[in-house]
């Protein structure tokens, strides 16, 4: 089980959109529609932002959206805000109650 | 309200044993899998394994199997992560999280994390 591949960093100005990619394999991302995205601020626990590719938990702003095509999932943050500056991790189900996380992406709001 | 409350920070020496805990409340503890996630200093999240407290069915990450033991005591709604002999490389923050495993598969609620520091 290798970590899913994410860009190390992305940045954008307030109000802009940024997209983070998450590339896996046929054993994880491409094999299941169970990709989640987590936001982590420094020193804090991860917070679920997107699950099952494109579902938002209650309370998560609709500025956050998810999608998937083949072995690559994506998280888009529209209307970027200062509080969106954080680390973001994708995570895919990989069968038999196993999971794999992405390498993580730091989002910087310029 | 669903809550996962983890035990406090630990400072140990190499070779010592350690068990950290994760207590669930606000939901049926025996009906959901609990996962453990490692985050080494300055690094990303790494899935370690999951346990179903209802029957203690446990699955481990292949890279971590044998390095750590996951257990649960359903009578007190608590899951555990246990090391029999710590190494300096076990220094990390460990998170527990509730796992949805039905029609949705994700970790929806997380504990606050337990920092484990192992000195050589």
Beta-carbon contacts below 8 Å between A and B:
72
Instruction: Say if the Cβ atoms of B106 and A98 lie within 8 Å.
Output: no
Contact B40, B87 (CB under 8 A): no
- Which residue of chain B has the CA closest to A58? B108
Point out the residue among B45, B97, B112 whose CB comes nearest to the CB of A89.
B45
Round the average pLDDT of chain A to a whole number and report it. Answer: 97
Q: What is the band of A70 on the pLDDT scale with cuts at 50, 70, 90?
A: very high
pLDDT confidence band for A71 (50 / 70 / 90): very high
Q: Which one, of B6, B37, B18, lies nearest residue B118 by Cα?
A: B18
Nearest to B97 by CA among B115, B111, B81: B111
pLDDT score of B108: 96
Q: Over the stretch B9-47, which tens digit does the pLDDT of each residue have?
A: 999 999 999 999 999 999 999 999 999 999 999 999 999
All residues at 6 or more sequence positions from B60 whose CB lies less than 8 Å from its CB, including other chains? B48, B49, B68, B70
Q: Do A91 and B45 touch (CB under 8 A)?
A: yes
Q: In what order do the strands lie in the sheet with B3-6?
A: B3-6, B18-25, B78-83, B69-73
Report the pLDDT value the prediction gives residue B65, as an integer from 0 to 100: 82
**Tens digit of each residue's pLDDT (9 = 90 or more) over B64-86:** 888 999 999 999 999 999 999 99
Among the listed residues B34, B31, B24, B30, the one whose alpha carbon sits nearest the alpha carbon of residue B3:
B24
Strand partners, B99: B33, B107
Q: pLDDT band at residue A26, thresholds of 50, 70 and 90?
A: very high
- Mean pLDDT for the stretch of residues A44-56: 97
A100 pLDDT tier (thresholds 50, 70, 90): very high
To the nearest whole angstrom, how far is the Cα of B44 from the nearest Cα of chain A? 6
Dihedral angle at the C-alpha atoms of A34, B59, A102, A55, nearest 10 degrees? 20
Query: Which chain B residues touch A88 with a CB distance below 8 Å?
Result: none
Share of chain A above pLDDT 70, in %: 100
**Cα angle at A104 between B11 and A15, to 5 degrees?**
125
Question: What integer is the mean pLDDT of A42-58?
Answer: 97
- Chain A: nearest CA to B87, how far in angstroms? 23
Q: How many CB atoms lie within 10 A of CB B6?
A: 22
pLDDT above 90: residue B102: no
Three-state SS at B29: helix
User: What per-residue confidence (pLDDT) applies to B103?
Assistant: 85
Is B46's Cβ below 8 Å from some Cβ in A? yes
3-state secondary structure at position B55: coil
Minimal Cα–Cα distance from A70 to chain B, Å?
18
A10-25 pLDDT, tens per residue?
Answer: 999 999 999 999 999 9
């Amino acid at each position: 089980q290798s970590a899913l591949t994410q860009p190390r960093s992305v940045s954008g100005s307030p109000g802009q959109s940024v997209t983070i990619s998450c590339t896996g394999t046929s054993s994880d991302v491409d094999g299941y529609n169970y990709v989640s995205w987590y936001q982590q601020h420094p020193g804090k626990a991860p917070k679920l932002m997107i699950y099952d590719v494109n579902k938002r938990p209650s309370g998560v702003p609709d500025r956050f959206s998810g999608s998937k095509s083949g072995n690559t999932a994506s998280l888009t943050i529209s209307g970027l805000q200062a509080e969106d500056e954080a680390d973001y991790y994708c995570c895919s189900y990989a069968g038999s109650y196993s999971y794999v996380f992405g390498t993580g992406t730091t989002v910087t709001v310029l | 309200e669903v809550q996962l409350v983890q035990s406090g920070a630990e400072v140990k020496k190499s070779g010592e044993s350690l068990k950290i805990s994760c207590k669930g409340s606000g939901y049926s503890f025996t009906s959901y899998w609990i996962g453990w996630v490692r985050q080494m200093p300055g690094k990303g999240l790494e899935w370690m394994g999951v346990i179903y407290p209802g029957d203690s069915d446990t699955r481990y990450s292949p890279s971590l199997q044998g390095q750590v033991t996951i257990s649960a005591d359903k009578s007190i709604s608590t899951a555990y992560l246990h090391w029999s002999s710590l190494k300096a490389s076990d220094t990390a923050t460990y998170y527990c999280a509730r796992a949805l495993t039905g029609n949705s598969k994700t970790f929806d609620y997380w504990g606050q994390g337990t920092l484990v520091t192992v000195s050589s």
